Amino acid sequence: MTPERRSSGTFRAGWSATLDLLLKEIEHLDPVGAVALRVDAPPDDIRLDGMLRARARVDFPGVVVSFTSASKGPLSFSTDMYEQRYYNDLPGWQANVRAIALSLEALRAVDRHGATSRGEQYVGWRQIESGPRPAPGPFDSPDEALRWMRDQAHADIGLRARDLFGEALFRTLARRMHPDMQGEQSAWARLDAARLMLKGSNLW
């Protein structure tokens, strides 16, 4: 919890512009499955489409935005830095969503200007996932992980995968295997283990 918050009046953009920016920045990270926005709000302030009403009654302004990137894995961003102090200012939770959207934009700029080559700036935002994790050591080598991924691509998707390497192959499989796309949790866990084994190897 932030001990001393800033005023949400720092931002002047409306909720629609904030949401557009957030979704645009997430799209640059090639999301797989649903994007989760967590806010401390009562159920009757949640619309039928799952979004929060613009003037929802939110006592605590902190928010969490979580999603899975096909290239960077599960990511989670949270902040409670801003609060509403004046009537005409943005609600605090909306200001905090905007802060996350602007942070994503800034992280992408690091890649754009060539300061990193492997997305190192996202490591601190990796989500600690709940639920079953892959068993230790499901693959003995990057070669074995890649073979398994190619077998899955051929059997489940019908692709000729012999020319596909780690990252491109992972993206293709992730769109099919992610639990939000009705994939099985066990298959997703094994795919994530293959990604971890291949990352950093010359097969990625």
pLDDT in tens, 3-47: 789 999 999 999 899 999 999 999 999 998 888 888 888 888 888
| Beta pairing, strands 73-79 & 63-69 | antiparallel
- Do both 169 and 111 map to the same domain? no
Single out the residue in 125, 155, 170 at which a domain terminates: 125
User: For residue 137, is it within any domain?
Assistant: no
Does residue 21 share a domain with residue 105? yes
| Alpha-carbon distances, residue 183 vs 33, 36, 162 (angstroms) | 10, 18, 23
Decide if 171 is inside a domain: yes
Tally of domains in the chain: 2
Judge whether 133 lies within some domain.
no
Same domain membership, residue 96 and residue 40: yes
Is the residue at 131 inside a domain?
no
Domain containing 176 equals: 142-198
Instruction: Judge if pTM exceeds 0.85.
Output: no
For residues 101 and 163, membership in a common domain is answered with no
Is residue 102 domain-shared with residue 48, that is, in the same domain? yes
Q: Does the CA dihedral 175-178-183-188 come out positive or negative?
A: positive
Last residue of a domain, one of 125, 150, 173: 125
What digits encode the pLDDT tens for the residues 86-103? Answer: 988 989 999 999 999 999
Q: What is the DSSP string of 2-66?
A: -SSPEEGGG----HHHHHHHHHHHHHHT-EEEEEEEEE---GGGB-TTSPBPTT---SS--EEEE
